[in-house]
Amino acid sequence: QVIKCKAAVLWEANKPFSIEEVEVAPPKEHEVRIKIMATGICRSDDHVITGALVMPFPIILGHEAAGVVESVGQGVTSVKPGDKVIPLFVPQCGECRSCLNTKGNLCSKTDLGTSAGLMPDGTTRFTCKGKAIYHFLGTSTFTEYTVVHESAVAKIDSAAPLEKVCLIGCGFSTGYGAALQTAKVEPGSTCAVFGLGGVGLSVVMGCKAAGASRIIAVDINSDKFAKAKQLGATDCVNPKDFNKPIHEVLMEMTGGGVDYSFEVIGRTDTMTAALASCQYNYGVSVIVGVPPAAQKITFDPMLLFTGRNWKGSVFGGWKSKDAVPKLVADYMKKTFVLDPLITHTLPWTKINEGFDLLRTGK
């Protein structure tokens, strides 16, 4: 059956979301229709609104969520109606080169980088006012019901609180994994984290969990520092307090640079600064923030020639279908906390207010 429900539709760039009645088609073969119970707002959603992440319009955004399976298409075996699930914006098909490689996690079935805005079969499951509406990263969670491919959904513990574990669908896993999986932070090491939003704070938690002895939190908004310290930051630095480049400040603070640095903002200038602030011979710098479209980086290649490692990390390097249920289980065992990452809870019809809070750093 087609489901009629409410969704936040973005008709064009740089406009507010419009709450509309949409039709959600039933799941086709190997697809799953999910009732979304909770969704987070992520800067990557905002990047689509501003054009920094190019996607087709009209579109239903949202990619960090948790819900309950409403129905399944033919051939679906991994979930059944009533299961609690998290949609995966990085799927895990289990067959492509990245899925088959132990070091890989960026499944070729992902819409990240192709920006097609369609299901794997090249069609959409959403219509509104007679128009086809595009999907976002194969998830589209700013709606009461969505349809995802079976490779893009993970069954989780039925006791998990969905309004908390939805963060494991993107922000928490992305930051925590960047430290533990991508950088492989070691006990006793020194780390710098540029950007203290939800993902940056999750990097701080990952560095702490890995046993880093010093975690330097960097942000131009000093209001973020108290929470960063609560979650494990040992030092907090505001670049605005100095009249020299931030990488020089960090070099001096650490006697030659940090072992690991993380850029969790999505700006090219801070990506280069994070690289320059790690130790010149064995430092590792990880790009976690989504880079803006149509921007290039120029940097002195000597920064890399001396031995630094520059890496990227999508979804924290986790193989999504395997890792998400385990991360939820870890949360249930209190291995890590999620509450400090949740600043506001709004009814989803107030989604535009939620984005205003994001943009004002609140």
pLDDT tens-place string over residues 162-205: 999 999 999 999 999 999 999 999 999 999 999 999 999 999 99
pLDDT confidence of residue 348: 87
Signed CA dihedral, 254, 260, 263, 269: sign only:
positive
pLDDT tens-place string over residues 203-220: 999 999 999 999 999 999
**Domains, the chain:** 3-171+317-360 (3.90.180.10), 183-312 (3.40.50.720)
pLDDT confidence of residue 116: 87
pLDDT over threshold 90, residue 346 = yes
pLDDT tens-place string over residues 224-245: 999 999 999 999 999 999 999 9
pLDDT, average across residues 351-360: 96
pLDDT confidence of residue 115: 76
pLDDT tens-place string over residues 80-97: 999 999 999 999 999 999
pLDDT confidence of residue 290: 86
Angle 350-351-352 from CA coordinates, rounded to 5°: 90
Indicate the DSSP class of residue 185. -
Peptide bond connecting 58 to the previous residue in cis, omega within 30 degrees of 0: yes
Dihedral (Cα; 78, 109, 122, 15), 10-degree rounding: 100
User: How many of the other CB atoms lie within 10 Å of CB of 234?
Assistant: 17
pLDDT over threshold 90, residue 271 = yes
pLDDT confidence of residue 92: 97
pLDDT confidence of residue 57: 97
143: Cβ–Cβ under 8 A, 6 or more apart, which residues? 5, 6, 7, 8, 22, 24, 36, 60, 62, 126
pLDDT confidence of residue 114: 77
Dihedral (Cα; 251, 252, 255, 256), 10-degree rounding: 20
Q: How far apart are CA 161 and CA 138, in angstroms?
A: 23
Q: Residue 89 in contact with residue 137, Cβ under 8 Å?
A: yes
pLDDT over threshold 90, residue 340 = yes
What is the set of active-site residues?
42, 44, 47, 63, 170
pLDDT, average across residues 296-301: 93
pLDDT over threshold 90, residue 295 = no
pLDDT confidence of residue 308: 98
